[in-house]
Amino acid sequence: MNTPYHKQTVTEPAFPERIWSQPEQAARRGKLVIIGGNANGVSSIMNAYGASQQAGIGDMRVVLPDSLKSVTGKILEHGTYAPRNPSGGFSKEALAVMIDTAQWADGALFAGDLAKNSETMIVMERFVEEYPSWILYCNDAVDAIIRHHEALKKQSRAVLVISIAQLQALIKELKLPRPVAHDMGLSQLVPLMTELSQTLGMILILQYNDGILAACEGTVSFTEIEADKQPATTVLASYAAVWLIQQPEVSFEAITSAVWLSSQTVQAA
């Protein structure tokens, strides 16, 4: 394999100096808004909220459809409730609430549990067009946003936390002649991730059998983690959001460190 990459294990981070450079004061640890949920699903939001606290965010808010207010109103701090559509997801009117809340933050995380309807998809696409800071997507939020990859290309701070299946879907949407298989090794995945992060202008974090690949502006890191010890997707995305917000000037080192730190939550469990 000719494409170089940084390698780390769960016991040896690639950038140890970054691991210990997290701001101590909460006021310097950044602000995050978490977006997602629908009338039938809220677990991704709750998991992202807990993981972001664990990762060390300074402050955060959550935007959910108001169909969830009776469920989360008493247990979720800093909840903001946006207009819902008949299916219990975000309506078009929710965009104004999302943007208003996100303007307070340094970044946004679409954690998932989105109702699959056209209104919510329109809201997500317009949010990309209007929000200039970090936007991260995981779980079914990835499935929704890759259909709007042209909008993502205009947003220089987009991050996708994806699976092999979602990578296949992205390649198909881009109409690239790059077949993706579940049994692909590093010799094939590293060049592909390098190319995609350059041509799309976004950060990609890929979970697969042997570990996690993170690509930023053509530079790739590989974290060796056994399949049954990988962090949950929501946890991984939450750590990436927190570290990108806190250390945006070294985004590649930040996401690589976030992958390592999220893996420690599994090893310690």
Three-state secondary-structure class, residue 220: strand
- pTM for the whole thing? 0.94
User: Residue 221: in which H helix or E strand, if any?
Assistant: strand 219-224
Average pLDDT over residues 8-24: 89
Is the pLDDT confidence value at 261 over 90?
Answer: yes
Select the more confidently predicted residue: 70 or 215: 215
193 pLDDT band, cuts 50/70/90, is very high
- What's the CA gap between 161 and 170, in Å, rounded? 12
Give CB contacts under 8 A, 24+ apart, made by 90-93.
Answer: 90/38, 90/65, 90/114, 90/115, 90/119, 90/120, 90/123, 91/65, 91/119, 91/123, 92/119, 92/122, 92/123
User: How far is it, in rounded angstroms, from Cα 110 to Cα 128?
Assistant: 11
Ranking 39-43, 88-92, 151-155, 254-258 by mean pLDDT, the lowest is 151-155
Q: What is the pLDDT of residue 221?
A: 97
- Residue among 173, 241, 252, 183 at smallest CA distance from 219: 252
- pLDDT of 267 > 70? The answer is no
Mean pLDDT of 196-218: 91
Per-residue pLDDT for 16 more than 60?
A: yes
Q: For 32-91, what is each residue's pLDDT tens digit?
A: 999 999 888 889 999 999 999 999 999 999 999 998 888 786 677 778 999 999 888 899
**What tens digit of pLDDT does each residue of 219-242 get?**
999 999 987 889 999 999 999 999
Q: Would the pLDDT of 155 be above 80?
A: no
Share of the chain above pLDDT 70, in %: 97
pLDDT of residue 41: 87
pLDDT at 169: 92
CB atoms within 10 A of CB 19: 16
Q: Count of alpha carbons within 13 Å of 232, Cβ hemisphere only? A: 16
CATH number of 6-267: 3.40.1190.20
Query: Is 126 a residue whose pLDDT tops 70?
Result: yes
- Residue 152's nearest CA partner among 106, 200, 204, 94 is 200
Going by C-alpha positions, the residue among 110, 25, 27 that lies closest to residue 64 is 110
Beta-sheet pairing, 134-137 with 158-163: parallel
39, 18, 211: which is closest to 115 by C-alpha? Answer: 39
pLDDT, average across residues 246-258? 95
Kindly state the tokens that stand for 201: 């202008």
Residue ranges of the domains in the chain?
6-267
> How far is 147 from 125, CA to CA, in rounded Å?
9
Calculate mean pLDDT across residues 107-136. 89
Closest to 52 (Cα-Cα) out of 83, 81, 26: 26
Per-residue pLDDT, averaged over 104-114, amounts to: 95
* pLDDT value at 1 more than 70: no
**What average pLDDT does the structure give for the chain?**
89
Q: Name the pLDDT band for 163 (thresholds 50, 70, 90).
A: very high
Residue 94 has pLDDT above 60, yes or no: yes
